[in-house]
Amino acid sequence: MADNFTKGMARNIYYGGGLFTFLLLCGLTFDTMLELPSRDHRENITESVALGKSLWEDNNCIGCHSLMGEGAYFAPELANVYDRYGQGNEDTFKQFLQSWMAMQPMAIEGRRKMPQFNLESHEVDALADFLIWTSRIDDNGWPPNKQG
Amino acid sequence: MKFQSQAVAKPYFIFALALFAGQILFGLVMGLQYIIGDFLFPYLPFNVARMVHTNLLIVWLLFAFMGASYYLVPEECDRELHSPLLAKILFWVFAAAGVATILGYLLVPYAQLAEMTYNHLLPTMGREFLEQPTITKIGIVVVVLGFIFNIGMTILKGRKTVINMVLITGLIGLAVFFLFSFYNPENLVLDKYFWWWVVHLWVEGVWELILGAILAFTLIKVTGVDREVIEKWLYIIIAMALISGLIGMGHHYFWIGPGEYWLWLGSIFSALEPIPFFMMVVFAFRMVRQRRHDHGNQIATTWALGTAVMAFLGAGVWGFIHTLAPVNYFTHGSQITAAHGHLAFFGAYAMISMTIISYAMPIMRGRPQGNPASAQKVERFAFWTMCLSMLGITLALTVAGAYQVALQRLPDDSMALSFMQTQAKLVPFYWIRLGFGVTFFVGLLAYFASFFVGQHVAESADAKKEEVCCGSCS
């Protein structure tokens, strides 16, 4: 590095640049927090949606599935599973999910297995409500198609 | 070794490497589960294996960072560690908490673990990488605070070098941003938004400061290059890391709810993220070329250079290939992401850990000029086997990811294959990945073996080498 570029200058770029960028991040975060309510539709988070999220977490679903593209890549994306199997009808989707969860683990040799989580019927409905709410978040149009 | 208290690093390094071996074993199991879906089901479901694999990684890296700090801070401060006893106590606390948590994952269904640990009182579990029970998270906070107190007191009382200041800033950042793991609102978008304040601000933020400090320390020691020169590079590298990486977090905000301007900010700033890693490569090679002495521990120098190169490839190049929003729209959450994750974590953080271990362990074992040639030869074989295997894993996953995108993401609704159909098509690439996983494990075994090679030579040569410079005084 050039000799006329001193250590003091490098230090100032580090402390000044780092601090400035962090403050910028905080400002952008503040702005995003103002914008989010119109994108996540938090007014639709019912008790059932909240229960669904805690069931999602307590059973470590993210250990195999992805949700909005984040998580593990061993099992299908689920933020758009309502779009994939619900045919636009919440009751249809709930019926589908009830029977799907009851079927696990499927006895197909060599296939990736989902454990049986022994959820009660109202819990599966809550999980469905959570996934339906998630599918309606404005996520800039991801994923590209319904396969996720 | 300049100060007795530096030796508290030793158990940290040994335990880190033991956990590393566990991480790789569970990785191999998952590699096979990707091909034979019901392998070990229901005894070890994939989600449990993955949790163990990723959590072991995080914990062994934390152990290595702590060991590195305990080793280098006293030497940089030119005084003994504030409290070696505290360091020893925290080692056992952290080790016990880590082992108990992993056993919890393996022995009890996750939902039951959540119940047993009263997760409902302060729900923090069940989020990727933050699966630890809340009580373990609190334990991590306590251990890290005790650790930072110990390191901080040492620095306050001693010499405040640039390496010390950068390291302590990184460690404090690590502790502060981990606190976001306790924030888990009902709103998934907010949850995800601040989840990244732990994950991204760790690995693409403050951890880079820790990496930079350890790398700079090792380079000073093995090359004898003037501290002024190295410190200038360190400042400018980490400055670039923060300036690009903080707003670069936007590349995680593309598709999880935040607004459209993140598409631009995330793309532009994260496209700059390879720059500090590229500078790190230039820096490492230039310092080695300008070296003032030939340190006997040549393999430590190889690790330092290797870290710079592999971190640039993994974090820099493989990050860049899918960071622009129009590309990421198709690659997000595919095997491309997995490819990047593997090479970046190994190249940057696993390798910097092995760099400092390779430099410091021989000194702590009474070999100031490094291990005997026969041991360094085995370690060199291990270095190349692990690096090339990880590149193999990365390439296999990259091809798998590209094919996955072509089959599942690019076509429209009517033509796209389902996730499971696509996975079936990727099996040949998963075999290749598993093959490289096995050779990686061979490399790891060779690495462990290198610690036990040439014991007799080392003992007989010790007497003669006492006079030779180990680099500790520079």
Q: What are phi and psi of A77, to 5 degrees?
A: -60, 140
Q: Determine the pLDDT at residue B460.
A: 62
Region class of B471: left (phi > 0), else alpha (psi between -120 and 50), else beta: left
In angstroms, the CA B447 to CA B4 distance is 26
Please list, in sequence order, all residues whose beta carbon lies within 8 angstroms of the beta carbon of residue B83, skipping any fewer than 6 positions away. B150, B153
Which pLDDT band, with edges at 50, 70 and 90, does B211 fall under?
A: very high
Angle of CA points B42, B22, B316, to nearest 5°: 110
A37 touches chain B (CB under 8 A): no
Categorize the per-residue pLDDT at B404 as very low, low, confident or very high, splitting at 50, 70 and 90: very high
Separation CA A4–CA B253 (nearest Å): 40
pLDDT of residue B417: 97
Distance from CA of A91 to the nearest CA of B (A): 23
> pLDDT per residue over B27-83, tens digit each?
999 999 999 999 999 999 999 999 999 999 999 999 999 999 999 999 999 999 999
Mind listing the pLDDT tens digit for each residue in A80-120?
999 999 999 999 999 999 999 999 999 999 999 999 999 99
Distance from CA of B194 to the nearest CA of A (A): 10
Task: Give B296 to chain A, closest Cα distance, Å.
Answer: 28
- Which string of DSSP letters, residue by residue, matches B302-343? HHHHHHHHHHIIIIIIHHHTTTSHHHHHHHTTSHHHHHHHHH
Reported as a pLDDT band with limits 50, 70 and 90, residue A3 is confident
> The tokens of B440 are what?
């990686």
DSSP B29-89: HHHHHTTSTTTTTTTS-HHHHHHHHHHHHHHHHHHHHHHHHHHHHHHHHTS--S-HHHHHH
The DSSP 8-state label assigned to residue A70 in this structure reads: E
- B18 to chain A, closest Cα gap in Å: 24
R_g of chain B computed on alpha carbons:
22
Q: Which pLDDT tens digit goes with each residue over A45-73?
A: 999 999 999 999 999 999 999 999 999 99
State CA B73 to chain mean position distance.
20
pLDDT band at B1 (very low <50, low <70, confident <90, very high): confident
Q: What is the DSSP string of B395-407?
A: HHHHHHHHHHIII
Distance between alpha carbon A112 and the CA centroid of its chain, in Å?
22
Nearest to A70 among B34, B47, B333 (CB): B333
Q: Do A7 and B127 touch (CB under 8 A)?
A: no
SS3 label, residue B469: coil
What pLDDT, on the 0 to 100 scale, is given for residue A44? 98
Q: Per the CB < 8 Å rule, is B338 touching A115?
A: no
CB atoms A73 and B337 under 8 Å: yes
Confidence at B110, pLDDT banded by 50, 70, 90 = very high
Q: Say if residues B37 and A110 touch (Cβ distance below 8 Å).
A: yes
Distance from CA of A122 to the nearest CA of B (A): 17
Tokens (6 digits) for B328: 């990421």
Tell me whether B336 touches chain A (CB under 8 Å).
no
pLDDT of residue B455: 80
At B471, the pLDDT band (50, 70, 90 cuts) reads: confident
Does A73 contact B45 at a Cβ distance shorter than 8 Å?
A: no
Task: Out of B235, B242, B257, name the one closest to residue A39 (CB).
Answer: B257
The verdict on pTM exceeding 0.90 is yes
CA-based nearest residue in chain B for residue A35: B259
Q: Are B37 and A113 in contact (CB under 8 A)?
A: yes
CB atoms within 10 A of CB A118: 11
Residues B77/B159, Cβ–Cβ less than 8 Å? yes
**What amino acid is encoded at A97 in this protein?**
L
| Record: contact B46-A59, CB cut-off 8 A | no
Query: Which residues in B lie closer than 8 A to residue A127 (C-beta atoms)?
Result: none
Q: How many helices (H) and strands (E) does chain B have?
A: 20, 0
Give which of A133, A147, A148, A139 is closest to A48, Cα–Cα: A133
B463 pLDDT higher than 80: no
A21 and B CB contact within 8 Å: yes
Q: CA nearest A17: which of B275, B94, B361?
A: B275
Selected residues 150-169 of chain B with any CB under 8 Å from a CB in chain A: 162
Return the amino acid letter for B256.
Answer: I
Which of the 8 DSSP states describes residue A42? G
Complex ipTM tops 0.95: yes
Report the residue from B38, B337, B418 with minimal CB separation from A111.
Answer: B38
How many Å apart are CA A138 and CA A68, to the nearest integer? 11
* A56-to-A64, A143, B95, B127 alpha-carbon distances in Å: 12, 21, 29, 9
| Residues 6 or more apart in contact with residue B192 via CB below 8 angstroms | A68, A70, B256, B257
Q: Which of B179, B180, B166, B249 is nearest to B208 (CA)?
A: B166
- Give the separation between CA B25 and CA B34, rounded to whole angstroms: 15
Question: Which chain A residues are Cβ-neighbours of B131 within 8 angstroms?
Answer: 60, 63
For chain A, strand residue ranges (E) read 66-67, 70-71
Residue B192, min C-alpha distance to chain A (Å):
9
| Contact indicator for B309, B386 with CB cutoff of 8 Å | no
